[in-house]
Amino acid sequence: MGMTITEKIIAAHASRAAVAPGEFVTVRVDLAMGNDLSTAGAIGVLRKMEARRVFDPDKVVIVFDHVVPAKDIAAATMLTAVRAWVREQGLPHVYDEGRQGIAHVVLPEQGFALPGDLIIGGDSHTCTYGAVGAFSAGVGHTDLAGVLALGETWLKVPASQRFVYHGTPGRFVMGKDLILATLGRITIDGARYEAMEFAGPAIERLGMSDRLTMCNMAIEAGAKSGIIAPDDVTLEYVRPRARRAFTPYRSDPDARYAAEHEFDVGRLRPMVAKPFSPDNVVPVDEVAGTRLDQVFIGSCTNAKLEDLRVAAAILKGRKAHPYTRLIVIPASTWIWQQALREGLLEIFSEAGAAVSTPTCGACFGGHMGILGRNEVCLSTSNRNFVGRMGDPTAQSYLANPAVAAASAIKGAIAAPDEVL
């Protein structure tokens, strides 16, 4: 019987000819990712495990993203401990302040996450790397410590669900809208403990930035991983940056799926997830006019260079509404520099945006854009749970960067075609 791409990658890393959904296997990892928070947690656990060295320094990437530059004294203390450990271990792949970015954007961008890889990361959005055709799953910091110590972990082989997208998306319809529409249909636990495999003609025409956005939000359906089989678009992206040899896999035509879903993206409008769940999804037109105190363009989901270009094209020569704060946080230092060279940062600043260096910050209610009592925000990020971005009475709507830019201008949720 045929296997899915996910089953093939897991089998290859378990030294098995084949695996089937539901089996428990031990797998070798090609890459372990820790961010500032999960690495700090893992360091304490590694001591309890009496693990003195990481399994292979070349296979470890540490990215400072959640609380940099240090948001308070507790964060500063934590970051100091992470830096000391990184130096003690002699880790070569470290993205600290000045080079920092959000891990899920940095790893593909810097050629760490590659087709056929098995990657474990100490952050739920680790599923993002499925966009390059890797199996990639998030864990907590104790599991991360286990992987750092042993270079392996246990996995339950997930069943796969296949999502097939047909048609050509309209203007301002992005990967974010495809995944929001998917979440709206299957709900927040629609793929719990399973792999989401995205395919079809509309995916083949999608660029890497939109593919990364889609796989990034697989966790929002409870999925263990999201994945897109590598094609020419993937290889064109990966080849110039790959740090190692890699093996692309594809699902067999007779692979088994727990469910198959079809979508026609030709009729899709830009979508918005209303408070308080990313599966609470409606077309933007249904919530147009909702007043906004803040618009946040950032996060691992939608602050890549392509996302910033889309937002800047709408904001160019325009101003954010005087009663609406606009915050723009590029997802990596490379993107920040590129956005500077292309004049995007100037466009944002001229539009009245506060533009910061890369951080997860506002997305998780950490710093750099926390919401106050009863405030309403539209965000390009991935979660809008109660209290996610600040006060529990605050509300967040999730949308793509074009909707975010248009909404900032209007001071209220707006479809991009309303302002252009």
Partner 1 sequence: MIEGRVWTFGDDVNTDVIMPGKYLNMRNPAELAPYIMEGLDPDFARKAKPGDVLVAGKNFGCGSSRETAPAGLHAFGIGAVIAVSFARIFLRNAINIGLPVLECAEAARALAGGDRVTVDVTTGAILDAATGRRWHAAPFPETLQALIREGGLVPYVRRRLAGGTR
139, 287, 312, 315: residue in contact with partner 1 (rule CB under 8 A): 139
Q: Kindly state whether residue 189 participates in binding partner 1, applying the rule CB under 8 A.
A: yes
Among 69, 111, 140, 200, binds partner 1 (CB under 8 A): 140
Residue at 79: amino acid letter: L
Residue written as tokens 């972990």? 153
Cβ neighbourhood burial of 81 (10 Å; 0-12, 13-18, 19+):
middle
Min dist. Cβ of residue 81 to partner 1 (A): 8
Give 259's strand partners: 161
Listed in sequence order, the residues at least 6 apart from 80 whose beta carbon sits closer than 8 Å to its beta carbon are none
Q: Which stretch binds partner 1 (CB under 8 A): 69-77, 324-332, 334-342, 347-355?
A: 69-77
**Identified binder of partner 1 from the candidate list 38, 209, 301, 396, rule CB under 8 A:** 38
- Judged by CB, which is closer to partner 1: 103, or 408? 103
Within 304-333, the residues that bind partner 1 by CB under 8 A are none
Candidate ranges 108-116, 196-204, 303-311, 384-392; the one touching partner 1 (CB under 8 A): 384-392
Q: Are 197 and 251 in contact (CB under 8 A)?
A: yes
CB of residue 46 to partner 1, shortest distance in Å: 9
Rounded CA-CA distance 123/219 in Å is 11
Q: Are 190 and 221 in contact (CB under 8 A)?
A: yes
389 phi, psi to nearest 5 deg: -105, 10
Using alpha carbons only, what angle is made at residue 300 by residues 12 and 105, rounded to the nearest 5 degrees? 55
Task: Note whether 141 and 32 are within 8 A (CB).
Answer: no
Selected binder of partner 1 within 3, 62, 75, 404 (CB under 8 A): 75
Q: Is 122 in the site for partner 1 (CB under 8 A)?
A: yes
Does position 383 interact with partner 1 (CB under 8 A)? The reply is yes
| Minimum distance from residue 6 beta carbon to partner 1 (Å) | 14
Of 106-114, 116-124, 250-258, 295-303: span binding partner 1 (CB under 8 A) = 116-124
H helices, E strands: number in the chain: 15, 18
Residue type, 258: A
The verdict on 274 binding partner 1 (CB under 8 A) reads no
Contact 90, 84 (CB under 8 A): no
* 41 sits near partner 1 (criterion: CB under 8 A): yes
Query: Based on CB atoms, which residue is closest to partner 1, 126 or 251?
Result: 126
Candidate list 16, 28, 69, 150; residue touching partner 1; CB under 8 A: 150
* Start-end of H helices in 187-269: 201-204, 208-216, 232-238
How many whole angstroms separate alpha carbon 120 and alpha carbon 33? 6
280 phi/psi in degrees, rounded to 5: -90, 70
Q: Does 59 bind partner 1 (CB under 8 A)?
A: no
Binding segment for partner 1 (CB under 8 A), chosen from 164-172, 218-226, 373-381, 393-401, is: 218-226
- 16's tokens: 């098995």
Toward partner 1, which CB reaches closer, 218 or 344?
Answer: 218
Non-local CB neighbours of 44 within 8 Å, separated by 6+ positions: none
| Nearest distance from C-beta of residue 146 to partner 1, angstroms | 5
Q: Per the structure block, which two tokens stand in for 286?
A: 């249904």
Q: Does 275 bind partner 1 (CB under 8 A)?
A: no
Q: Is 420 in the site for partner 1 (CB under 8 A)?
A: no
- Of the candidate spans 71-79, 235-243, 305-313, 330-338, the one that interacts with partner 1 by CB under 8 A turns out to be 71-79
Give least dist CB 50 to partner 1, A. Answer: 5
State the Cα–Cα distance between residues 365 and 60, nearest whole angstrom. 27
The smaller minimum CB distance to partner 1, of residues 140 and 184, is found at 140
Phi, psi of 2 (to 5 degrees): -75, 160
Single out the residue of 16, 51, 207, 338 in contact with partner 1 (rule: CB under 8 A). 51
| Contacts to partner 1 by CB under 8 A | 24, 37-38, 40-41, 44-45, 48-51, 55, 66-67, 71-72, 74-75, 78, 122-124, 126, 138-143, 145-146, 149-151, 154, 156, 188-189, 192-193, 219-220, 222, 224, 277, 364-366, 383, 385-388, 392
